[in-house]
Amino acid sequence: NYVDSDGDSILYYQKPGTSGLRKRVKVFEQEHYTENFVWATLQAQPEIKGSTLVLGGDGRYYGVECAQKVLKLSAAAGVKKIIVGQNAILSTPAASNLIRKHKAYGGILMTASHNPGGPDNDFGIKYNIANGGPAPESVTNEIFNITKTIQSYSIAQLPDLDLSKIGSYKHGELEVEVVDSVADYVDLLKSIFDFDLIKKFLSENPSFKFLFDGLSGVTGSYGQAIFLGELGLSKDSVQNAVPLPDFGGLHPDPNLTYAHDLVERVEKDDITFGAASDGDGDRNMIIGKGVFVTPSDSVAIIADWAHVIPYFKGGLKGLARSMPTSGAIDRVAQAKGVAGYEVPTGWKFFGNLMDAGKLSICGEESFGTGSDHIREKDGLWAIVAWLNIIAAANQEHKGWNIKDILQAHYSKYGRNFFSRYDYEEVESEGAQKMIEHLQKTFESLNGTQLKATTTDTTFTVKETGNFAYTDPIDGSVSKNQGLYVVFSDGSRIVVRLSGTGSAGATIRLYVEKYSTEASEYGQDAQVGLKPLIEVALQLSKLQQFTGRDKPTVIT
Ligand code: VG1
Ligand code: CO
């Protein structure tokens, strides 16, 4: 049995959430804690002996230390080879790409994504399978089970390996290949998009001002290589582009609240196109002066314009979104005559569809957009996709920018107004009670009318439920994926608890309304959605259960 320094036995229950195990650094620093989880992860893979794994992370505090442990544990577990990013750094999309490129057995990603980093903040470990995507629930459940019963782990007694130099090394019995963190990923994007067209557009349109904010996360190095190196933009086209272990104290989450530096500079300096990515590089935000692209619209627009992107020249196989994401992409799927799938929250649910050749482009409302080029969402992919689209659009419509593309999309498809309210780190018990209350309320809700008094709007409930998903490829069932209320006018409220938080509970409340009123297209989403929010708050009694009178973040 594990014992700590005082001789007390320890057993950690380590349950991976939506995207791996995420906890405070201090938790990972506890005796045996990291080793325990990594060992359980390795033991949960049936063919770990003799395998090749990819290892890398978003550069946050504790990453190098963790990487050294992973190497020693892997050596003891009989792993044959580990391909690791230089200095233990790989963005999440770059890691996914390397797993696929080298036909590795899987990968260990050391990231807590968009959560703040540093000694007092978060760390995370996530396992990806051979297709390059996050492990499905069957695998994460197995990891969890092992952490509940584990008696011991083995670790090779080796010195730390210098991960700063590219090259091949022998580390005990283990082969370690330290690779450039950026090069393969840049090659990948160059094989997908029309870089020549983008370059030509940028050089012919000097008034098109571009600004990328790496939020001091891992994409800084990738952004520099792409925007400065490949596209030849000037140095001031990127900011916060040096990855830092504590992200410079920033909250590396690309949304209007946390990326406020970028938002302010875009307005002040008349930036035509501003973009940001999160700590590990899989999220993105696209904005321009006076315009913000909601992620739900972004994925729909990329799908609609896919024909201008060389990678999709053979057509689209299918489109998909996570359940809380707005239905904008469904309309594109319908127009293109391809299937539109609705999966639970979390990128792992897209993987099977992609592997089966049924899905090309997909997205989540949480600033996640991507395609089947890898098996993770991909922030820089989305940003370059938008540049490719704007460059192509300008061949026909000179001067078009983000706003014009949005307006054209709304005129063609109507507009899905969408917003999400997050109540972060509320007391777990209150959050749980609220969910139970909602579930009970649902039983008698169908057909009733709900009234938002301040705006005098009435909604008739058409359907309520708790989202469950049966994977069309392997038949696996995922239940309790979010409570929803659909109204007779097509509007929707969704409530679910976050699976990525590291302390307490985070409640996410999503609202959506579809409009074909051209006069409303220019409206601020918060104005149009106000009655729905009011109804959602009344129905859930959120304030009573949690004591919160306003959300932490609105996106
Ligand atoms: C959140 C988002 C979800 C996303 C996940 C991982 O999960 O809502 O859409 O896939 O984060 O994103 P949750 O369970 O907290 O709502 V990232 O950038 O951490 O890999
Ligand atoms: Co992320």
In the prediction, which pLDDT does 2 show?
A: 54
d(CA 482, CA 498): 10
Q: Is the CB of 32 under 6 A from ligand 1?
A: no
Question: Three-class SS of residue 347?
Answer: helix
CB atoms within 10 A of CB 545: 21
Pocket test for ligand 1, best of 380, 500, 507, 555 (most atoms within 8 A of CB): 500
Tally the C-alpha atoms within 13 A of residue 65's C-alpha that lie toward its C-beta.
Answer: 14
Q: Are 257 and 240 in contact (CB under 8 A)?
A: no
Which residues touch 463 (CB under 8 Å, ≥6 apart)? 446, 484, 485, 486
User: 225 and 199 in contact (C-beta within 8 Å)?
Assistant: no
Residue 59 carries which side chain, given as an amino acid letter?
G
Contact 536, 495 (CB under 8 A): yes
Contacting residues for 399 by C-beta, under 8 A, at least 6 apart:
none
Q: Using an 8 Å Cβ cutoff, are 511 and 532 in contact?
A: yes
Q: Give the residue among 25, 48, 46 at the shortest CA–CA distance from 107.
A: 48
Q: Give the separation between CA 294 and CA 117, rounded to whole angstroms.
A: 26
Is the distance from the beta carbon of residue 18 to the nearest atom of ligand 1 less than 6 Å? yes
CA distances (Å), 518 to each of 257, 271, 409, in order? 28, 27, 11
User: Contacts by 258-262 with C-beta closer than 8 Å and gap 24+?
Assistant: 258/114, 258/215, 258/553, 259/213, 259/215, 259/285, 261/213, 262/211, 262/213, 262/287
What secondary structure, in 3-state letters, does 481-507 show? CCEEEEECCCCEEEEEECCCCCCCEEE
Phi, psi of 228 (to 5 degrees): -85, -55
466 in Cβ contact with 450 (< 8 Å): no
> Alpha helix (H) ranges present in 155-235?
183-192, 195-204, 219-223
Q: Is the CB of 347 under 6 A from ligand 1?
A: yes
Q: Ligand 1 pocket, 115 CB below 6 A? A: no
Q: What is the pLDDT along the chain (555 residues), one digit of tens a residue?
A: 455 556 555 667 898 887 799 999 999 999 899 999 999 999 999 999 999 999 999 999 999 999 999 999 999 999 999 999 999 999 999 999 999 999 999 999 999 999 999 999 999 999 999 999 999 889 999 999 999 888 889 999 999 999 999 999 999 999 999 999 999 999 999 999 999 999 999 999 999 999 999 999 999 999 999 999 999 999 999 999 999 999 999 899 999 889 999 999 999 999 999 999 999 999 999 999 999 999 999 999 999 999 999 999 999 999 999 999 999 999 999 999 999 999 999 999 999 999 999 999 999 999 999 999 999 999 999 999 999 999 999 999 999 999 999 999 999 999 999 999 999 988 889 999 999 999 898 888 888 888 888 878 888 999 999 999 999 999 999 999 999 999 988 899 999 998 776 678 999 999 999 988 888 888 888 888 988 999 999 988 888 888 888 989 888
Measuring CA to CA, how many Å separate 74 from each of 156, 174, 497?
8, 8, 34
C-alpha to C-alpha distance for 192 and 388, rounded to whole angstroms: 10
Cα–Cα distances in angstroms (integers) from residue 177 to residues 96, 166, 504, in the given order: 16, 7, 39
User: How many CB atoms are located within 10 Å of the residue 299 CB?
Assistant: 31
pLDDT digits (tens, 9 = 90+) for 488-539: 888 999 999 987 766 789 999 999 999 888 888 888 888 889 889 999 999 8
Supply the pLDDT for residue 446.
Answer: 85
Q: What is the pLDDT of residue 453?
A: 81
Pair of tokens at residue 130? 């051979």
Characterize 16-41 residue by residue with b for buried, 16 or more Cβ atoms within 10 angstroms of its Cβ, and e for exposed: bbbbbbbbbbebbeeebbbbbbbbbb
Distance CA 176, CA 88 (A): 12
Give per-residue burial for 314-347: e unless 16+ CB within 10 Å, then b.
eebbbbbbbbbbbbbbbbbbeebebbbbbbbbbb
Please give all residues whose CB falls under 5 A of ion ligand 2, grouped by chain where several chains appear: 113, 278, 280, 282-283
Q: How far is the CA of 146 from the centre of ligand 1 (A)?
A: 24
pLDDT for the residue 512 = 96
CB of 499 within 6 A of ligand 1: the answer is yes
Domains of the chain listed by start with CATH number: 21-181 (3.40.120.10), 184-413 (3.40.120.10), 415-554 (3.30.310.50)
The ipTM (two decimal places) reads 0.96
Atom of ligand 1 nearest to the CA of 347: 10
Residue nearest to atom 17 of ligand 1 (CA): 113
Q: Whose CA is nearest to atom 8 of ligand 1?
A: 366
Kindly list the catalytic residues: 113
Amino acid 140: pLDDT? 93
Which atom of ligand 1 lies at the shortest distance from residue 365's CA?
A: 9
Q: How many CA atoms lie within 13 A of 478 on its CB side?
A: 20
CA 439 – ligand 2 centroid, Å: 30
Q: Which amino acid is at 452?
A: A
Nearest CA to ligand 1 atom 3: 346
Is 270 strand, coil or helix? coil
At 522 the pLDDT is 80
The CA-to-CA distance between both ends of the chain, in Å, stands at 46
Residue 392 sits at φ, ψ, to 5 deg, of: -70, -40
Residues 333, 477: Cα–Cα separation, whole Å: 24
Render 349-367 in DSSP notation, one character per residue. GGHHHHHTT--SEEEETTT
| Best residue among 23, 113, 284, 345 to mutate for probing ligand 1, ranked by most atoms within 8 Å of CB | 345
**Do 88 and 163 form a contact (C-beta atoms < 8 A)?**
yes
pLDDT digits (tens, 9 = 90+) for 211-255: 999 999 999 999 999 999 999 999 999 999 999 999 999 899 999
- Atom 10 of ligand 1, nearest CA residue: 346
Instruction: Give the number of other CB atoms < 10 A from CB of residue 145.
Output: 13
